[in-house]
Amino acid sequence: MALTASRSLHLGGPPEIEVKEVSFTYRGSTEPALHGISFVQRRGEIVGVVGPSGAGKSTLVKCLNRLVPSFDNGTFAGVVKIAGQTLAEQRVCDVAPLVGMVFQDFESQLFSTNVAHEVAFAMEQCGYSREEMVQRVGAALRAVGLEGFESRDPATLSGGEKQRLAVAAVMALRPRVIVLDEPTTDLDPQGRAEVFALIEQMRLQGATLVLVEHDLEALRVCDRLLVVRDGRIVADLPPSELMARVELLESCRLRPPDLSLLCERLGITPHTQTLEEAERAIRARFRICATACESRLDYDASASSCLPVTRVGQEANKGRQEALIEVRKLTYAYPEGRLALEDIDFAVGSGEFVAIVGRNGSGKSTLAKHLVGILRPTRGQVLLGGRDLSRLTVAEISRHVGFVFQNPDHQIFAATVEEEVAFGPRNFGLKPDEVAERTQRVLAAVGLEKLRFQDPFLLSKGERQRVAVAAALALNPRVLILDEPTTGLDFFEQRRMMELLTELNRGGVAIVIITHTPWLVACYARRVVMMERGRKVFDGPVRQFFASSELLENSAFRLPEVTALSRRLGLVALTVDELVSVLEARS
Amino acid sequence: MPIYLYLDRGTLFHRFHPTVKVFGLFAVFWTVFWLDHPVALAPVGALLLGVAHASRSWANFRRLSWLLLLIVFFTSLVWILFFRVGAPLAKVGPLWVSRASLEFGLGRGLKLAELIATTIIFLSTTKVEEFSYGLRALGVPYRVGFAITLAFRLAPLFIDSALEVVAAQSLRGHEFRRGGPLSRLRRYAPVMIPVFMGALRKANNMAMALEARGFGHSPRPTSFAEYRFTRSDLFALIALSVLASASFLAYYLGWAGIKIR
Amino acid sequence: MIHELRAVWHDTRMIVLCAISGALYAAVLIPFKVVPLIPGVTELRPANAIPIVCSFLFGPAAGWGSAIGNLIGDFFGGVGPGDVFGFAANLVYGYLPYKIWALIGCGQSPVDRSPLGVAKYVMTCFCASILCADIVGWGDSLLGLRPFAVLGNLIVFNNMLASCLLAPFLLAAIYPRVRAGHLLYSDLMVLPSSPCSFARRLAGLVMLVFGGLSAWVLGNLVSAGFWVPGFLPSWASTPPYGAAVGIVVTPFLVIGLVGASWL
């Protein structure tokens, strides 16, 4: 039975969305995607929809503008009302003036070749006069902070700007309800921050929003959160109440916010919602006065053993050994002359686990592409085991260094998972026995043995990402480089991917990941390289990175909640476990 | 990868009304069509060079110079060999050239070069949205114009993903340049399949996003784009009409053809 | 032919598929434009496999898509008046395969590799390639840009190589997946019922083959100057034979196109 908040209808406005007993089964499926879902949302309310991948979140929100069942054929039952108007038999395009929708994939929702036209697009479809359009385009672009971008080609905007443009394009029609379906999943921290700042602004202006999102910490802005699992709403609670239910969140494959986890572990009730509250509660609980805490738990950045270490994979990382890849004074300029990398010195030793972080466009991917010879330096050198990379072919390099692209679909083409993994070894002319043996071993290592005869295109994104990792591993590399391997995955899949990398690292493969996800860096990496405008601005232990206020302020990298809290207490904890151990040891 | 030729230079040629630009494109095609002799084509070529300079389109000419040269050379060669009239100047087996075939071949090469130069200037000065506005002005239905614009927007995205797939497959030891031409052709399958499947994944999302933005709500969508017809547009129209008429007159009077001797 | 091509514009998904096929065609056409066979003279274009594959997947949308993709490809390298014929030729090249297959495929999948299946597939591609070549060769001859005997043959050669050597691999990988995902054109759009009976459609195919082949053979003979019919007026009987190609080829091209419209 669903948990329901006593204050679920706390806002006094009239119902803007009414969903009654909505069920939907996709064509060809026996299992319903939605089972008799009902909820009401009042005007000016912000409702978050959370749940694991495949729970039915997107199906649910698509019912609000009739994309379901108009686009996805199947069996639909139930009633959806927007502003008192029942949506039945309407075309999706006729619902557009009532419900606007922003999708996850920003590339798929921009159709024009300039920003102003993009914003005007929906109004053109609805027959607005040019004068009205000019006025609304200006207002919408101002609202999302894109004033002055009118004549820019949307393709030249950053991810965050594209998503803000998509919001402006929806806002211009002034719909009663705006649905944002995972609007930040494909964005970097800067882009996420931009979109959430916009949502906060819309909240203050009284917009009625439905927000589908994986990151619970970001959903504190909502009035209510609906938890969807197996096509049912299993909880409908305000964020503070939901986040206190750590067990429920974990059972729904959601990552509980650090503060909730910490309160749960320390037995602090009620759970605190802000860093200030958490700090006060901990200081009171452990009787730490400000000065005492700072003097006794002061952090020495150079000593990585100052805190009990319980991180996954920690024991495998005993520090840098011989350099497998070395970059010396690397400079790279694009064909038009703009510098992408400048004077980079960098080395990866065997057994290392390195995270490369930085804003979009800071040079992370460009650096990584030099490590596998996809790009060749304008100046400087890249050495692989002491040999100059420029003398080796990409195929020769790939025997030593594996590279997994951000989008696994950029390499998958074979009919089965097994064929896909065997493609590389076959290209290198290995004998059939050896190809089979390697494929078998690698599939076992990434946990895809049972799916070996499956069509890789039909797997989930997380599984496809594992296929891509397996394909790279099949060439027995000593270094594996992964470009944002967890983008677009839910918490459960992210953790699975990182545990796989940790296992590989334990087995001796050096791992280099490019990531935007702070908690992954804190929990799994041992060394951080930070890039800014083509230059390396930091290269050192993870803890030292998170201890540096100046660095973090300049980057768009948001501290994990637990690290931010621990810093208020005068130390640098990377995980909830670490902080709990220190506090308990102290008490 | 930048694939379009538009150069944001703000010259007079960039500011012309889209309809005038489209008219200009067809007027020059018409002009060139009636001229065969290289000497008759030369003034039009000189005029186009002047326009290329004034519209600051040289960067695109430089970028496509190899293609232009190849096409002109190949076209001239083919026509020199195919235009078998007049007294032979040289003969090698079944192949022979005459003064007329040389003039005709060079004329065809020049003609093709001028046609391509015209489109390079057009594309260097015309944005995609102006092109679709021009199409609508010419009576092309809205949805057809929209599909063309959308394809123009998507093509660079797909090219980028194709280049990334090439890199990904190369890293798995796949060599595109191994083997003979036929085996090379087949080697493109591991690139084209991922690009195709990626595009298909996009298709459904894109159609949903389109309808969610009201696509199809009104049978006659209004237009946000607005271009003013100025005096310079009028002068341009007159000049283009004079040029097109002069070319036809030259053809009619027999000044632009090849004399067979 | 016309009613199905028009139906594309009434369905949002088909419009998107049309844009996507066009963009895909251009995306492979532009960076992988040349696999030279004889440098400067002839080349293989892997992109020529795309309209065939799209046709089996997206039906009529592929016709428009191929035409648009070819236009974008030409935009990259400079268009000319001959591209009007390139547009029409690619429309036919992308449109015909699924229509011919619907008639002779007898419910077989285009990825069926039985000898009969292969024979039908090759014939399908040949019909589409030859009519495409006829249109471009005829148009360019009329405009006096390139001789039919050069362009017409190169197009048939290129299209057949790409459609017989590369397209089957792509189809084998993509078609079953698209069918499983219910994304074939027949799943996405309600096709207007054909106004033609089976017999008329069969006659259409015969006309298409007869008209297309005749136009191709005659275009070659006339344009190369091997055969100049005596009935031609004197102004059309001299090189470069553009008008002669126009007079001789047009009736057969019309037969081929009328046949295509009956499919």
Residue A308 scores a pLDDT above 50: no
d(CA A170, CA A137): 11
According to the model, what pLDDT value does residue A1 have? 44
What tens digit of pLDDT does each residue of A103-155 get?
Answer: 888 888 888 888 999 999 999 999 999 999 999 999 999 888 888 999 888 88
Determine, for residues B224 and A101 on separate chains, whether the beta-carbon distance falls below 8 Å. no
pLDDT of residue B17: 93
Q: Is pLDDT at A337 greater than 60 in this prediction? A: yes
Is B44 in the same domain as B128? Answer: yes
CB pair distance less than 8 Å for A65 and B212: yes
Q: What is the 3-state secondary structure (H, E, C) of A51-67?
A: CCCCCCHHHHHHHHHCH
The verdict on A368 and A458 lying in the same domain is yes
- Nearest CA-CA distance, residue A58 and chain B, Å: 12
CATH fold of C2-194: Arp2/3 complex 21 kDa subunit ARPC3 (1.10.1760)
A324 plus A251 within the same structural domain: no
Longest C-alpha distance within chain A, in Å?
Answer: 72
Please provide residue B40's backbone torsions phi and psi, each rounded to the nearest 5 degrees: -70, -30
Residues contacting A559, CB < 8 A, separation 6+: A518, A546, A552, A567
CA–chain centroid gap for A278, Å, is 25
Cis bond before residue A69 (omega within 30° of 0):
yes
Rounded Cα distance between A57 and A92, Å, is 19
Tell me if B257 is assigned to some domain. no
One domain, residues A482 and A344: yes
Mean pLDDT of C141-162: 87
Tell if the CB–CB gap between A413 and C173 is shorter than 8 Å. yes
Say what the pLDDT of residue A316 is. Answer: 40
Whether A469 contacts A446, CB under 8 Å: yes
The whole domain housing B164 covers: 141-212
Using alpha carbons, select from A165, A197, A104 the residue that is nearest to residue A556.
Answer: A197
The chain-wide mean pLDDT, for chain A, equals 85
pLDDT tens-digit profile of A178-208?
A: 999 988 877 777 777 888 888 888 888 888 9
What pTM does this model have?
Answer: 0.85
Residues B114 and B189 in one domain: no
Domain membership of residue B222 (yes or no) is no
Tell if the CB–CB gap between C72 and B151 is shorter than 8 Å.
Answer: yes
Judged by a CB distance cut-off of 8 A, whether residue B183 touches chain A is no
**Chain A partners of B129 at a C-beta cutoff of 8 Å?**
112-114, 117
Q: Does A455 fall in a domain? A: yes
Subunit contact B174:A409, Cβ cutoff 8 A: no
Return the half-sphere exposure (C-beta side, CA atoms, 13 A cut-off) of residue C247. 15
- Is B168 in the same domain as B243? no
Q: Which residues of B touch A428 (CB under 8 A)?
A: 173
Q: Which two tokens stand for residue B29?
A: 């095609």
The total domain count for chain A is 2
Predicted confidence at residue B212, as pLDDT, reads 94
DSSP 8-class letter at C106: T
Over range A79-97, report the average pLDDT. Answer: 91
The reply to whether A437 and A543 lie within a common domain is: yes
Confidence at residue B237, expressed as pLDDT on a 0 to 100 scale: 95
pLDDT at residue C120 tops 90? yes
pLDDT digits (tens, 9 = 90+) for A471-505: 988 988 999 999 988 887 888 888 888 998 998 89
Structure tokens given for C248: 């001789």
Same structural domain for residues B49 and B174?
Answer: no
Q: Assign C218 a pLDDT band (cuts: 50, 70, 90).
A: very high
Q: Are residues B114 and B168 in the same domain?
A: no
Residues A251 and A358 in one domain: no
Mutation test of the interface with chain C: which of B96, B154, B160, choosing the one with the most C Cβ atoms within 10 A? Answer: B154
Give the pLDDT confidence score for residue A587 in this predicted structure: 66
Q: Is the pLDDT assigned to residue C79 strictly greater than 60?
A: no
B199–C224 C-beta distance less than 8 A: no
Q: What is the pLDDT of residue A435?
A: 93
C94 touches chain B (CB under 8 A): no
| Helix or strand run (H / E) with residue C148 | helix C148-161
Of the candidate ranges A221-230, A532-541, B156-165, C233-242, the one whose mean pLDDT is the lowest: C233-242
Provide the angle, in degrees to the nearest 10, between the axes of the packed helices C148-161 and C198-223. Answer: 130
Confidence category of residue A295, pLDDT binned at 50, 70, 90: very low
pLDDT reading at C33 higher than 70: no
- How sure is the predictor about A38, in pLDDT bands with cuts at 50, 70 and 90? very high
Rg (CA), chain C: 18
Per-residue pLDDT, averaged over B11-32, amounts to 92
Residue A171 lies in a domain: no
Nearest CA in chain B to A153: B153
Burial class (CB in 10 A: 0-12, 13-18, 19+), A38: middle
What was the pLDDT predicted at A285? Answer: 82
Q: Which of C75, C233, C232, C83 is nearest to C146 (CA)?
A: C83
Residue A456 lies in a domain: yes
- Take residue A242 and report the two structure tokens written for it: 């939901």
For B211, the closest chain C residue by CA position comes to C12
For the stretch B195-252, pLDDT in tens is 988 888 888 889 999 999 999 898 888 989 888 899 999 999 999 999 999 999 999 8
Among candidate residues A365, B67, B234, the one with its CA nearest the CA of residue C30: B67
pLDDT (0 to 100) of residue B176: 78
Residue A222, amino acid:
C
Q: Would the pLDDT of C22 be above 60?
A: yes
Q: Which of A110-119, A559-568, B168-177, C204-213 has the highest mean pLDDT?
A: C204-213
Q: What's the pLDDT at A37?
A: 94
A67 contacts on B by Cβ (under 8 Å): 208, 211-212
Q: Indicate yes or no: CB of B150 within 8 angstroms of CB of A108.
A: no
Question: CA A564, A565, A569, A572: dihedral to nearest 10 degrees?
Answer: -50
Nearest to B18 by CA among B227, B238, B225: B227
| Residue corresponding to tokens 């992210």 | A494
Q: How many domains does chain B have?
A: 2
Which tokens go with C180?
């499983």
| Token code pair at residue A442 | 């690698």
Per the CB < 8 Å rule, is A410 touching B161?
yes
Stretch A398-421: mean pLDDT, rounded?
90
Mean pLDDT for the stretch of residues B72-97: 80
Tell me which residues of chain B, numbers 148 to 177, contact chain C at a CB-CB cutoff of 8 Å.
148, 150-155, 157-159, 161-163
In the structure, what pLDDT confidence band is assigned to residue A302 with cuts at 50, 70 and 90?
Answer: very low
Task: Chain C: give the shortest CA distance to residue A392, in Å.
Answer: 24
Whether C237 shows a pLDDT value over 70: the answer reads: yes
Nearest C-alpha in C relative to B26: C81
Does the pLDDT value for residue B102 go beyond 70?
yes
Q: Is the domain of A476 the same as that of A335?
A: yes
C13 CB neighbours in chain A (<8 A) are 71
Give CA–CA dist B242/B44, Å, rounded. 13
Distance CA C254, CA C263 (A): 14
Per residue in B40-78, pLDDT (tens digit) is 999 999 999 999 999 999 998 988 888 788 878 888 888
Range of the domain at A405: 319-560
- What pLDDT band is residue A11 in, cutting at 50, 70 and 90? low
In this prediction, residue A61 carries a pLDDT of 95
Does residue A12 sit within a domain? yes
Of A402, A408, A407, A447, the closest CA to residue A428 belongs to A402
**Which B-chain residues 99-118 have CB contacts (< 8 A) with chain A?**
none
Run of H or E including A210: strand A209-212
Is the CB of B186 less than 8 angstroms away from the CB of C169?
yes
Look at residue A90 and tell me whether its pLDDT is greater than 90. no
Question: Does any domain span residue B259?
Answer: no
Interface A-B, measured as beta-carbon pairs within 8 A, has a size of: 179
**Does B261 map to a domain?**
no
Residue A119 near residue A165 (C-beta atoms within 8 A): yes
Percent of chain A with pLDDT over 90: 40
Task: For C161-198, write each residue's pLDDT tens digit.
Answer: 889 988 999 999 899 988 887 778 888 777 666 667 88
Cα–Cα distance measured from residue A305 to residue A519, given in angstroms and rounded to the nearest whole number: 20
Nearest to C81 among B29, B188, B191 (CB): B29
Predicted confidence at residue A305, as pLDDT, reads 37
CA distance A272 to A276: 9
CB contacts < 8 A, A to C, total 11
Residue C177 to residue A455, Cβ atoms within 8 A = yes
pLDDT at A348 over 50: yes
Tell whether C170 lies on the interface with B, counting CB pairs under 8 A: yes
Task: For residue A355, list its beta bridge partners.
Answer: A513, A528
Residue A382 has pLDDT above 90, yes or no: yes
Is the pLDDT reported for residue B153 higher than 70? yes
Tell if the CB–CB gap between A423 and B210 is shorter than 8 Å: no
Q: Report which DSSP code applies to A455.
A: -
Instruction: Please name every residue paired with B97 in a beta bridge, in sequence order, or none if there are none.
Output: B90
CB contacts, 8 Å: C240 with chain B: 79, 82-83, 104
Inter-helix orientation angle C83-104/C60-77, to 10°: 150
Which pLDDT does position A234 carry in this prediction? 94
Per-position DSSP letters for chain B, written without gaps between them: -----------HHHHS-HHHHHHHHHHHHHHHHT--SHHHHHHHHHHHHHHHHHTT-HHHHHHTHHHHHHHHHHHHHHHHHH---SSEEEEETTEEEEHHHHHHHHHHHHHHHHHHHHHHHHHHH--HHHHHHHHHHTT--HHHHHHHHHHHHHHHHHHHHHHHHHHHHHTTT--TT-S-HHHHHHTTHHHHHHHHHHHHHHHHHHHHHHHHTTTTSSSS----------HHHHHHHHHHHHHHHHHHHHHHTTSSSPPP-
- Nearest Cα to A39, choosing from A20, A13, A66? A20
Same domain, B126 and B68: yes
Chain C contact for A111, CB < 8 A? no
Whether A374 sits inside 8 A of B171 (CB atoms) is yes
Q: Determine the number of helices (DSSP H) and then strands (DSSP E) in chain A.
A: 23, 21
Q: Of A95, A32, A31, which Cα lies nearest the Cα of A63?
A: A95
Residue A519 and residue A416 share a domain: yes
Least confident of A298-307, B196-205, C107-116: A298-307
pLDDT reported for residue C66: 95
Within this chain, do residues B20 and B107 fall inside the same structural domain, yes or no?
yes
Asked if A410 and B165 count as a contact pair (C-beta separation under 8 A), the reply is yes
Q: Which residue, among C81, A394, C61, has the nearest Cα to B111 in the 3D structure?
A: C81
A452 pLDDT higher than 60: yes
In a domain, B177, yes or no: yes
